[in-house]
Amino acid sequence: MTIQWGVLGASSFARDNMAPAIHAAKGANFAALATSSVEKAKGFQTYAPDIAVYTDYDAMLADPKIDAIYIPLPNHLHVPWTIKALEAGKHVLCEKPIALKESDFDDLIAARDKAGLIAAEAFMIPHHAQFGRARELVQSGAIGDLVHIDGTFSYNNAGDLDNIRHDPAKGGGALPDIGVYPIGAARLVSGQEPQSITLANLRYEHGVDVFAQVAADFESCSFSAVVSMRMMNYQQMTFHGTTGVLRLTCPFNANKADVAELILDRKDAPRHVERWPAENHYVRQVENFSAAAEGDAEYPVPLEWSRGTQQMLDMIYAAAK
């Protein structure tokens, strides 16, 4: 069976990344788009000319031919529309952050369990081989004992003040937008959870955080990260152990900003490099979700896991106050 997908909202990210991934994924078919502007549908129809186009979101949710919904709406709409889609009998993959506070997960998990369907945050990096390999190496002791994790993710949208990331009413800010990545990467690779926030240096403009410098203690290692909407595009993750250092290049926009590489340096050993020049984590995410919707596999990052990242974001905001 092929999962029939509907996209709820014609964002540029959906048009350029996730809808093409649904179109390309095995076991999935991009069948419908709901948008308030028929004009916006044209960008999707260049690669999926046969999609049904709805100008009413609820009408697409009522379509019995649609099995799963992908939601790329502004952050503050994620929880209500995820719940509405579940109540309409659809599996849901919703853009990150799926919620704006940790307590929102109570309603999301309850709606998922009542519906008996799959609902998950569209956090794509766990689906990339780069992260599976990093987790394997770190947790097997390839760098000795893990001592410190460091991450950076930045871009500069200072000249785009109409962007929803600058709107506090819509869940804007650097931490909700990109802070989830170094935090999620640290949790994913280490298998550990944050215990306390030791530094939360946030800088605000227009009511949203545009720069965040964060430090934390995990169970047996420390963590630091910088995320910003006011710095040149850059991304990296480093895992530093007692006998080695593992670095991930382009960990969050793999093969978009640069080639995804894993670089392992160990004492008295030659540098080890692995590369994934063709891996598409968006396609893998859709394939893994579709398999879970079919009942063929467990989804690797359920809501309970995503809740942990939001809990750390809440801890950072609380510490900054």
Mark whether 96 is an active-site residue. yes
**Nearest residue to 129 (alpha-carbon basis) of 238, 235, 274:** 274
Q: Which of 84, 90, 96, 170 is catalytic?
A: 96
How many C-beta atoms surround the C-beta of residue 231 within 10 A?
A: 17
DSSP 134: H
Tokens of 210: 């545009």
For the stretch 139-174, what's the b/e string if a residue is b when 16 or more beta carbons lie within 10 angstroms of its beta carbon? Answer: eeebbeebeebbbbbbbeeeeeeeebbbbeebbbbb
**CA distances to 3, 28, 118, 164, 303 from 91, in Å:** 10, 13, 5, 26, 13
Gap between the Cα atoms of 115 and 90, Å rounded? 9
- Alpha carbons within 13 angstroms on the beta-carbon side of residue 90 total 29
> Which active-site residues does the annotation give?
96
